[in-house]
Structure 1
Amino acid sequence: MMQSLGQDARQADRDWWRGAVIYQIYPRSFQDSTGDGIGDLAGIVQRLPHIADLGADAIWISPFFTSPMKDFGYDVSDYCDVDPMFGTLADFDAVVSRAHELGLRVMIDLVLSHTSDQHPWFRESRANRTNPLADWYVWADPKPDGTAPTNWLSIFGGPAWQWDARREQYYLHNFLTSQPDLNFHEPAVQEALLDVARFWLERGVDGFRLDTINFYFHDRHLRDNPPLPKDQRNADTAPAVNPYNHQLHLFDKSQPENIAFLERLRAVMEPYNAAAVGEVGDSQRGLEILGQYTDGEARMQMCYAFEFLAPVPLTPARVAETFAALDAAAPRGWACWAYSNHDVVRHITRWNLSDAAARAYATLLMCLRGSVCLYQGEELGLPEAEIAYEDLQDPYGKEFWPEFKGRDGCRTPMVWQSDNGTGGFSSGKPWLPVPAAHLHLAPSEQRAAGSLLSHYRAAIALRRGQPALSKGVQTEMRAEGDLLSLIRSAGSDEIFCAFNLGAEEVTVDLPPGDWRSVGAAVGAVAPDERQAGQVRLGPWGSCLVKRV
């Protein structure tokens, strides 16, 4: 188990985030300590040893703030308190204390682009056009014919503008109508949100995951978005059935003014040695924006990319194309990669992975340049759950059912044991059903050395034990059919990595020189002197060797 992470230790490593493995906790579904069927902060404390034993460097906790839960916490009504369903501020302090004891840093999910319509700020803002908070949200007069100010669309379907009879104006909502967008062009809004960051930093958090980081500012001239040609549309940011994909989103998000705000936020974080990973939601310019937001020492440390969260299979060619595009658009940027999260179909199901394939992809993830986010249950190999319509909770799924079934299938409760119907998650009825197919994948059933859980532990330990893999440079990435190869290096250390991401045997030519295996713990094939610089990789095999 990792050593206690005291204040001195947390301040000492200014580069702790680079190459870190961050474990995402969706608190509603992690562990219920009260029997009400909803996970909570005390439950997180109970299960933190699992994450520490896995070898993660940090946790990211999805929103637990006071909220009417129209979007399950991503609609905040009080940024500086805990929703009673999750516990109290004292419970949060206990999470931080226990995490630090276990050597884990704590990152929390800040939702700064919008609030709930129940937030006191919005209640005052919508009262009239002259109150002190009148300009804290994005209000606009209708066009002369009474229609919305622009053609902007909501990610959750329909127009991004909602009429308000009190002010006889429209307000902007990029998500649900109950999630009005804050007006970042108003200096007082920026100050209030920076104060929110200070509040949590003072409570001991080590950083933030910044929800929809490129949605903070809108075009102050309220220009319409142009249409996006059909052959350029993809479903990385929104499902294919959503008309949101029909526009090139030039004016409703990703505005140049955002850079200055991010630099102000970084300045607030610096004295605390805190780090942030920003979620960039843009299907056309995601890597370009990632490069802008992580360029230099004054902006965000990392951005959370969507490329490996896409529905299309992650082939060697796609990995190579992604890194080539990243190198071109963000040569000084730093990405945070993920296969699964609380918004997309779990990758085991999305890519139809066998157990062997799941291991290969886990090893690959730990060998790529960038930081890593693991979503709870990913280390167990949990597949996407099938949720009946009558059990559906997600408003997004209800809007587009059945072509898009929403996000509940990846949000079902974590399983910890196999001997009861709730997987050890709760003594009551869980807020979403626990699939019977998940029970045999619980940690209690994966104690053997050959389990997927043990493979994740070994892969993370390999990354942590080899600076070239966690923080080094990446060169010579090549994709040939099912074979992906690359070199990671740091100082005099050089590691050659090769992955067979297919079901047929392939032959790998090692670079010239002498190599020794460093991947035995993850089942990587070692060089054989009789093969004269070549290695045969079976289906889903890997080769990880270090230059002697």
Structure 2
Amino acid sequence: MENPPPPETALPWWRGAVVYQIYPRSYLDTNGDGIGDLPGITRKLPYIAALGVEAIWISPFFKSPMSDFGYDVSDYCDVDPIFGTLADFDALLAGAHRLGLKVIIDQVYAHTSDAHDWFAQSRESRDNPYADWYVWKDPKPDGTPPNNWQSVFGGAAWTWDARRQQYYMHNFLSTQPQLNVHNRVVQDALVAAAKFWLDKGVDGFRLDAINFAMFDPDFRDNPPWPAGSRTITRPFDLQHHIHNQSHPDIPVFMERIRELANNYGAIFTVAEVPGPDPLPEMSAFTAGEKRLSSAYSFDFLYASRLSPRRVKASQMNWAGPFSEGWPSWAFSNHDAPRCVSRWCPPGADMRQFAKLTNALLLCLRGNPILYQGEELGLPQAEVAFVDLQDPEAIANWPRTLGRDGARTPMPWSKGNTFAGFSEAKPWLPVGQGHAELAASEQESDPDSVLNFTRSMLNVRANSAALRLGEVEFPDVPEPLFALRRSLGGETVICLFNLGADDVSVPAELTAGAKPLISTAPGPMTLPQHGVWIGRL
């Protein structure tokens, strides 16, 4: 690192903070309709605070027809009745703040629901005040769509609308029309929605798929991307997406969000950046003091295996001074299969592997995002076709796993038919074996994934080096993986056995180190998927 970081007392709360992601539909149902709600989150705030995380990120709870389960917003400034009311959100926010937890919420700026009043007015004519709030284009002379852009969920990114006698653009579902964020008036409306929640007291925003917010105004065709050895499940996979997304004016819009946020103190803003080459956009979104706090990609979320090379490559992209940008990291979330199912080798102890992945996530330089159930070591659930809810999974069955298997109900207890999540049949079935991994089952087991994760979070909270320090990679033979985190006079050595056999650790790596946490008797030999972390 070229320059040392400022003193911890001068840094915003979010720098190095651990964020716990909550998918509200699946966290806790308190009114017996089989769907999780905001009062359910409020009821579990003591559990979350006891984990030792600094913040919660709540996935969308805004008014929505739920075609994409909340990512199709019909009112940015209201709560959907299935989740509760604005008063319920106020109570959640106040309860979190009393327990020292910050609250981050989603903002979806690339599109709305087709049920949003803005779109209802936009589609009525070509000359009303909302006419240019969405992306409309005339057909080609032969009646086909304006260009070759494809939707993420399959098929053309254009749908014909008889009212305007035009096509409207949608990067995702046809019920998620693309906002024209090039339009300054649309930006003003989005900034106003953000201000509504900041005035309520939220502490940050996660910006959903923000690299889809702007497009090429000339509507040029995307170039083809030959299939090669890649798995193809939809036409979207056959294009380089250089014109329907990732426009260079997106970071300029981000400056408006940051300018607003600065009026409210240390507000955390983190961008989700999907795509095969996210680093340039992540850097552009977070560079300097006028843009976002952080960004995360799908480096790990879609990775089929965990390897030292992948971890090192991802970390080294963000090893410079704070001014170059600050990353966030997630191994699992609501859009990706759970990491223990993707990475744990057949026959291995999944509980030990979950401890390894949680420890590794919490040792990375940046902001770890821990997804609900990850602290329990939950594997991906298998959801039968008849129970699927995810439109992408249904459309592409059985070529993709879909997202439902990572969204099944949070298991709170073993005795209840639905693992303590609800008294009614849940919107998705409880995952296979998840009741046995319920929070109540793990509370009393000192060797559980839950209690190990709590201990690891405590280790990170009490180590400036793990939260903020430089990262180095001692040269060790695979499958051993070593991280060294350093800040000021503190150095922490982190050792992980990513293989199936015992590995020997070079003595010089840990000479004089005081153990902080481990799943091994000592540092000299690490068993299968063992972890050893110590302070030098």
Q: After superposition, what is the alpha-carbon deviation per residue over 1:138-190, rounded to whole angstroms, capped at 9, x for unaligned?
A: 11112222211111111101111111111111111000000001001110000
Deviates more, 1:449-458 or 1:504-513: 504-513
Cα pair distance change 1:195/1:477, threshold 3 Å: farther
Question: Could you report, residue by residue, the CA deviation over 1:499-542 in whole angstroms, capped at 9, with x for unpaired residues?
Answer: 1111112222255795322323x435545xxxxxxx22222223
Specify every segment of 5 or more residues in structure 2 that has no aligned partner in the other structure, as ranges: 1-8
Match of 1:37 in 2: 34
Q: Is the 8 A contact 1:160 1:173 kept in 2?
A: yes
The aligned residue for residue 385 of structure 2 is 389
| Alpha-carbon distance in 2 for matches of 1:524, 1:470 | 23
Q: Which residue of 2 aligns with 1:9?
A: none
In 2, distance between residues paired with 1:131 and 1:141? 17
Per the TM alignment, residue 302 of structure 1 is displaced from its structure 2 partner at its CA by: 0.8
Q: Which runs of no fewer than 5 residues in structure 1 stay unpaired?
A: 1-11, 528-534
Contact 1:525–1:542 (Cα < 8 Å) also in 2: no
Q: 1:478 to 1:260 in 2, by over 3 A?
A: farther
| Other-structure match for 1:277 | 270
SS in 2 for 1:518: strand
Q: Within 2, Cα distance between the matches of 1:175 and 1:328?
A: 35
Residue 290 of structure 2 corresponds to: 298
- Equivalent residue for 1:205? 202
Contact 2:150 2:157 in 1 (8 A): yes
Match of 1:439 among 416, 427, 435: 435
SS at match of 1:123: helix
State the Cα deviation string for residues 436-457 of structure 1 (Å, max 9, x = none).
Answer: 5111101111021110100110
Q: What are the residue-to-residue correspondences of 1:423-462 with 2, within 5 Å?
A: 423-447=419-443, 448-462=445-459
Bigger mean CA offset, 112-121 vs 374-383: 374-383
Amino acid at match of 1:255: H
Q: Give the letter for the 2:371 counterpart.
A: Y
**What is the deviation of 1:197?**
0.6
| 1:173 and 2:162 correspond | no
Cα distance, 1:478 vs structure 2: 4.4
- The 8 Å contact of residues 208 and 276 in structure 1, kept in 2 or not, is answered as yes
Deviation by residue 1:181-225 (Cα, 9 ceiling, x = unmatched): 100111000000000110000101000111001111111111111
SS of 1:108 mapped into structure 2: strand
Residue 187 of structure 1 is aligned with which of 184, 189, 210?
A: 184
Asked whether the equivalents of residues 497 and 527 of structure 2 are also in contact (C-alpha less than 8 Å), the reply is yes
Aligned residue number for residue 417 of structure 1: 413
- Contact 2:327/2:367 (8 A) holds in 1: yes
Q: Once superposed, which parts of structure 1, at least 4 consecutive aligned residues long, lie more than 6 Å away?
A: 328-331
1:235-254 to 2 correspondences below 5 Å: 240-254=232-246
Distance 1:182 1:479, change over 3 A: farther
For 1:393, give the aligned amino acid: Q
Residue of structure 2 aligned with 1:64, choices 61, 66, 74: 61
- Distance in 2 (alpha carbons) for counterparts of 1:466 and 1:129: 58
What is aligned with 1:258?
Answer: 250
State the partner residue of 1:308: 300
In structure 2, C-alpha distance between the alignment counterparts of 1:331 and 1:313, rounded to whole Å: 31
User: Which residue identity is paired with 1:132?
Assistant: P
Matched, 1:98 2:98: no
Kindly indicate whether the alpha-carbon contact (under 8 Å) linking 2:329 and 2:367 is maintained by their aligned counterparts in 1: yes
Farther off after superposition, 476-485 or 139-148 = 476-485
Secondary structure of the residue aligned to 2:253 is helix
CA offsets 1:460-496 (integer angstroms, 9 cap, x no match) = 1111110100111112354632111121111111112
In 1: Cα distance, 2:510 partner to 2:120 partner: 68
Identity %, equivalent residues: 50
Deviation of 1:330 after TM superposition, in Å, equals: 10
**1:114 alignment partner, one of 99, 111, 116:** 111
Whichever residue aligns with residue 440 of structure 2, its letter is S
TM-score by length of 2: 0.94
TM-score when normalising by structure 1: 0.92
Could you tell which deviates more after superposition, 471-480 or 339-348? 471-480
Alpha-carbon spacing, 1:143–1:300, altered in 2? closer, same or farther (3 Å)? same
Deviation at 1:390, TM superposition (A): 1.3
Which SS does the other structure have where 2:328 is aligned? strand
Kindly indicate whether the alpha-carbon contact (under 8 Å) linking 2:107 and 2:207 is maintained by their aligned counterparts in 1.
yes
Q: Secondary structure at the match of 1:189?
A: helix
CA contact (8 A) 1:61 1:108 kept: yes
Distance, in Å, in 2 between the alignment partners of 1:358 and 1:29 is 21
Aligned to 1:543: 532
